[in-house]
Structure 1
Amino acid sequence: MIATADGPHPGLSAPPKITEVETHGVEPIPDAERSAGPLDLFRLVFGGANTIATVVLGSFPIIFGLSFRDALLATLAGLVLGAIILAPMALFGPRNGTNNAVSSSAHLGVHGRVVGSFLSLLTAVAFFSISVWTSGDVLVGGASRAVGMDPNAAPNDVAVGVAYGIFALLVLIVCIYGFRFMLLVNKVAVIAATVLFLLGIIAFGGTFDPSYAGIFGADADAATNALYWPSFVGAALIVMSNPVSFGAFLGDWARYIPRETPAWKSMSAAFLAQIATLVPFLFGLVTATVVATNASTYMEEGNYVGGLLAVSPGWYFIPVCLIALIGGMSTGTTALYGTGLDFSSVFPRFSRVQATVLIGAIAIAFIFVGRFAFNVVQSISTFAVLIVTCTAPWMVVMMIGWFVRRGWYDSDALQVFNRRQRGGRYWFTHGWNWRGLGAWLVSAALSICFVNLPGQFVGPLGNLAAGIDLSIPVGLGLAAVLYPALLFAFPEPADAFGPDGPRVVPAGPPANTPIISVDTPSETAAVR
């Protein structure tokens, strides 16, 4: 009997050593090797978000001009709503033993599942880059201040490049070893980073003013006060984007959880992990208030990181460097691991390790070229927001699909694409389920039209609600209406559902499409 973080599980084989390279790709994890538990999922999700990158997101409500009280309310609203939306995405991994992109074959089709894979790839590369850039800059800046260098001096590009390189290579090594090594890193990160953040209570307790009023209020002019609600909603949506960004990745880690694990445990792990990120969010919120009060020039320039280093007491520079190092490792590994896994699922001839090395090398090259040759740091942040905006309606399609399927999936049929086969109960129309794809495509396209990121990207409908960014609410709401409507109007084949049939929606005649290996033109023609 092998014990997991949640207690003993009979019938499990001994888990591989931490230093043993993981060989599993997106094929279903055998039941005997599923030795992780919901607590491990909590550590991975929380560890991946307990970082400087999340701290920077936490500073946005203050940058937008909100008072500390209103910024706290916006943060709580965005975080709780995002965690509620994210939680059901933890169900697919334990049920199917594979990542969420592969599981999406049941709702978008054998070929349509590449939508989820590419959303994951783009999100992971974007957040890996942001993690390395943010952590590297903080590490170099904090180390420079710790040794007494001029606080107004610009960071040395060579030092910054070395920091980026160290971060990126360490992350790549961890991801090559795989799930167990990544879990160890995040176990350390959860405790260490949290302790270092809590030290901030001592570091900033004397300078923090909870009555900070922001730019809105009785003394502000009418034009300024008219921006209050756009700022409040925008701040909440930026916070919400953090938990939503994990939606495509939860299956990467949850696939090692035994399939008999109660659904509420996996969902609770994902939900509570996001609620726990109040630690870095509040750190960002409090320190942004201190910066706005004592070093407002930095906030006016949008340079929160520089302001953080400027207001930090000398003894806290080392903890800030450690936060950057630990957080960069945990965020980078959770992002890049999923990238390699998804790439190997889209191009099955690559093993997980080969795909991780290839994508890691491309991502590292992008980090250096993007930072030093084209300075696309702000642009990639905008790109990440747009990708998250497109991911939200995809998550809705997945969750509604789970509901109408009663949580029943044919794991063998989900693997048709990866095995270079055709057919099966999720073949639909030449491998595409236009019901799920149509709902996602329309919702994502309209959602992007409502994006409002002043100074970065404003969609054609971005100013329709007096400057309030409605992108994610529009994407979520439209997908929640459009996908069920398509399922009612154009029922899916009966054999796409389990033995109990669909829930709520009707079913059409069974397709009875056999799974075959496509080796000859005649076989290909037969399936088409």
Structure 2
Amino acid sequence: MSKNVIADTSKPAFGVEARSIGYIPRSERYGRPFNQFTLWFGSNLQITAVVTGALAVVLGGDVVFSILGLFIGQLLGGVVMALHSVQGPRLGLPQMISSRAQFGVYGAVIPLALVVLMYIGFAASGTVLAGQAVAGLLGSTDAVGIVIFGVATAVIAIIGYRLIHVMGRIASVIGALAFLYLTIRLIAASSPDVLSNANFTWASFFLAMSLSASWQIAYGPYVADYSRYLPASTPAWKTFASTLSGSVLASQWSMTFGVLAAAIAGDQFSGDEVGFVVSLGGTGIVAAALYFVIALGKLCVNVLNAYGGFMSVVTTVTGFAGHREISRTARTLYVCGIMLVATLTALLGRGSFLEAFSTFLLFLLTFFTPWSAINLVDFYFISKERYDVPALSDVNGRYGRWRWDAIICYAIGLAAQAPFLYTSFYTGPFVNMLGHTDISWIVGVIVPGIAYYLLARRRRHLVPDRLILPDEAPLP
């Protein structure tokens, strides 16, 4: 490994990206906010989002209020997710390294370890569905499809940032056309009274909200990774709006499709999600094209898992080793290692995917809402976007090794959610009182956010009077 790998990236190319977790100098910035829209639109218009929407019906919800609950959850979770995206152009850093400002250089390992598990879990679950699509396209077994998909994911993640955004643009156009066709076919195959399935219960309504909110909030550790190359002068509202609209529109479209598919198909959908979706389109060359589109959509988002997982692991390692950049060889080894674990997990767990994924997605929210709340409160209300970027790599610097105020607030957030948590293996004591509704994600945003604000504002003297960047004049 090398402490300071410097390369001329002022003219972006499709070679292996030289930067990893290091600061992106303003001379190397490029791109438009609209690229955030296409990336998140293409990444969310895909089969796993369809399955997530279907869960609202599979687990007992109706059609009308499941769709409404999903939409409200998209907006609430999407705002949290898009606020993280604004940090990329401002700091020129990937998402999780900014956690060192709240938790300390060593303390940031606590959320980082959980983020790595999240990336591997999402990569594995996405590989299961993509493996079905690749198998259908090639006429092979699901296991072969999973392996091929895992290799393709690793290759693109190694090449990095620019190719990922190109994939987002391609996937957004192809995915929109394919989903438009499939939506028309699904509506044609449904009975006219499908929308009369409206039976409101608080439990199923909040379940739908939790599914979509967790989907969006779980992207919080991702988003600045893909906005950090934007010019520093990019208006914050444009980055926010592009990210929010792309993610919410595509997710809601996919999840609404899933709700209708589950309501129409019933047991035929669960266990053969990809097969059912393709069967809507037809057979022969149309089916082959749809298998390709499903695999492409999953490839787009799975690359985000491999890329983000690689940077989270590097952030963890370099926090202790003192490095800011790594070599291309090390980059390749990190990415391959993450995808090897994810692919093996997919091969071993593909038989019980739907149930396991539901439990994973809802439980995951418990650990990331407190982190999001702490990170956003610090960025917008305590530090007010003023960070000492060089100090994020210095254990003896401004942020130190451990920041116990954030760690304590994170623990408070986890504990506060426990009584309201409703999963297949644990039910909090307040769940029955609330009609079997899970509001833990709401508690997980409010309680640690307020607690951190009250504790951290006493340390405002540690906040620099301006944003301090490694090698350039300060931003105004």
In the superposition, the TM-score normalised over structure 1's length comes to 0.78
Other structure's SS at 2:114 match: helix
Structure-2 separation of matches of 1:440 and 1:188:
39
Structure-1 separation of matches of 2:34 and 2:134:
30
Query: Is the alpha carbon distance of 1:230 and 1:321 closer, same or farther for their aligned partners in structure 2, counting shifts above 3 Å?
Result: same
Structure-1 separation of matches of 2:93 and 2:315:
10
Whether 1:247 aligns to 2:217 is no
Whether 1:409 aligns to 2:383 is no
Q: Report the residue type matching 2:178 in the other structure.
A: L
CA contact (8 A) 1:124 1:335 kept: yes
Other structure's SS at 1:268 match: helix
CA contact (8 A) 2:55 2:358 kept: no
Structure-2 separation of matches of 1:251 and 1:109:
19
Other structure's SS at 2:193 match: coil
Aligned to 2:448, which of 476, 479, 482?
479
- The aligned residue for residue 524 of structure 1 is none
Aligned to 1:199, which of 165, 172, 181?
181
Flag structure 2 segments of 5+ consecutive residues without an equivalent. Answer: 1-7, 468-476
Q: Report the residue type matching 1:354 in the other structure.
A: A
Aligned to 2:304, which of 302, 327, 334?
334
Query: Is the alpha carbon distance of 1:351 and 1:449 closer, same or farther for their aligned partners in structure 2, counting shifts above 3 Å?
Result: farther
Whether 1:273 aligns to 2:246 is yes
- The aligned residue for residue 291 of structure 2 is 321
Following TM superposition, by how much is the alpha carbon of 1:412 offset from its aligned partner in structure 2, in angstroms?
A: 1.1
Following TM superposition, by how much is the alpha carbon of 1:286 offset from its aligned partner in structure 2, in angstroms?
A: 2.7
Query: Is the alpha carbon distance of 1:49 and 1:356 closer, same or farther for their aligned partners in structure 2, counting shifts above 3 Å?
Result: farther
Following TM superposition, by how much is the alpha carbon of 1:275 offset from its aligned partner in structure 2, in angstroms?
A: 2.1
Following TM superposition, by how much is the alpha carbon of 1:141 offset from its aligned partner in structure 2, in angstroms?
A: 4.9
CA contact (8 A) 1:35 1:258 kept: yes
Structure-2 separation of matches of 1:63 and 1:124:
25
- The aligned residue for residue 472 of structure 2 is none
CA contact (8 A) 2:182 2:280 kept: no
Q: Report the residue type matching 2:336 in the other structure.
A: G
Cα deviation digits, residues 263-296 of structure 1 (max 9, x gap) = 11111121111222133223222322321xxxx3
Aligned to 2:30, which of 12, 31, 35?
35
Following TM superposition, by how much is the alpha carbon of 1:335 offset from its aligned partner in structure 2, in angstroms?
A: 0.9
Structure-2 separation of matches of 1:396 and 1:178:
29
Structure-1 separation of matches of 2:76 and 2:247:
10
Following TM superposition, by how much is the alpha carbon of 1:139 offset from its aligned partner in structure 2, in angstroms?
A: 4.0
Structure-2 separation of matches of 1:459 and 1:143:
46
Cα deviation digits, residues 114-166 of structure 1 (max 9, x gap) = 2342232122111111111012124435776xxxxxxxxxxxxx611110011
Query: Is the alpha carbon distance of 1:352 and 1:483 closer, same or farther for their aligned partners in structure 2, counting shifts above 3 Å?
Result: farther
Q: Report the residue type matching 2:389 in the other structure.
A: S
- The aligned residue for residue 368 of structure 1 is 344
Query: Is the alpha carbon distance of 1:167 and 1:373 closer, same or farther for their aligned partners in structure 2, counting shifts above 3 Å?
Result: closer
Other structure's SS at 2:61 match: coil
Q: Percent identity?
A: 23
Following TM superposition, by how much is the alpha carbon of 1:13 offset from its aligned partner in structure 2, in angstroms?
A: 7.1
Aligned to 2:461, which of 471, 494, 511?
494
Structure-2 separation of matches of 1:139 and 1:172:
16
Flag structure 1 segments of 5+ consecutive residues without an equivalent. Answer: 1-11, 145-157, 218-224, 417-421, 501-528
Following TM superposition, by how much is the alpha carbon of 1:261 offset from its aligned partner in structure 2, in angstroms?
A: 1.3
Which one is further off, 438-447 or 187-196?
A: 438-447
Whether 1:128 aligns to 2:123 is yes
Following TM superposition, by how much is the alpha carbon of 1:234 offset from its aligned partner in structure 2, in angstroms?
A: 0.6
CA contact (8 A) 1:337 1:356 kept: no
1:34-433 alignment, distance < 5 Å: 34-141=29-136, 159-209=141-191, 211-212=193-194, 217=199, 228-277=201-250, 278-291=252-265, 296-298=266-268, 304-305=273-274, 307-308=276-277, 313-314=282-283, 316-348=286-318, 351=327, 354-372=330-348, 377=353, 378-379=355-356, 381-402=358-379, 403-416=381-394, 422-427=395-400, 431-433=401-403
Following TM superposition, by how much is the alpha carbon of 1:384 offset from its aligned partner in structure 2, in angstroms?
A: 3.9
Structure-2 separation of matches of 1:379 and 1:210:
33
Other structure's SS at 1:483 match: helix
Other structure's SS at 1:88 match: helix
Cα RMSD, aligned residues only:
2.7
Other structure's SS at 2:220 match: coil
Aligned pairs, number: 450
Following TM superposition, by how much is the alpha carbon of 1:334 offset from its aligned partner in structure 2, in angstroms?
A: 0.9
1:427-442 alignment, distance < 5 Å: 427=400, 431-442=401-412
Structure-2 separation of matches of 1:376 and 1:62:
18
Following TM superposition, by how much is the alpha carbon of 1:462 offset from its aligned partner in structure 2, in angstroms?
A: 4.2
Q: Report the residue type matching 2:406 in the other structure.
A: G
Cα deviation digits, residues 3-53 of structure 1 (max 9, x gap) = xxxxxxxxx9742211x1111111101111111221222222222222111
Whether 1:16 aligns to 2:12 is yes
- The aligned residue for residue 420 of structure 2 is 450
Following TM superposition, by how much is the alpha carbon of 1:372 offset from its aligned partner in structure 2, in angstroms?
A: 3.4
Structure-2 separation of matches of 1:499 and 1:28:
17
Q: Report the residue type matching 2:261 in the other structure.
A: T
CA contact (8 A) 1:341 1:352 kept: no
Structure having the higher helix fraction is 2
* RCO higher in structure (CA 8 A, sep ≥6): 2
CA contact (8 A) 2:210 2:362 kept: no
Structure-2 separation of matches of 1:379 and 1:352:
35
CA contact (8 A) 2:89 2:229 kept: yes
Structure-1 separation of matches of 2:332 and 2:360:
22
Following TM superposition, by how much is the alpha carbon of 1:497 offset from its aligned partner in structure 2, in angstroms?
A: 3.8
Following TM superposition, by how much is the alpha carbon of 1:347 offset from its aligned partner in structure 2, in angstroms?
A: 1.3
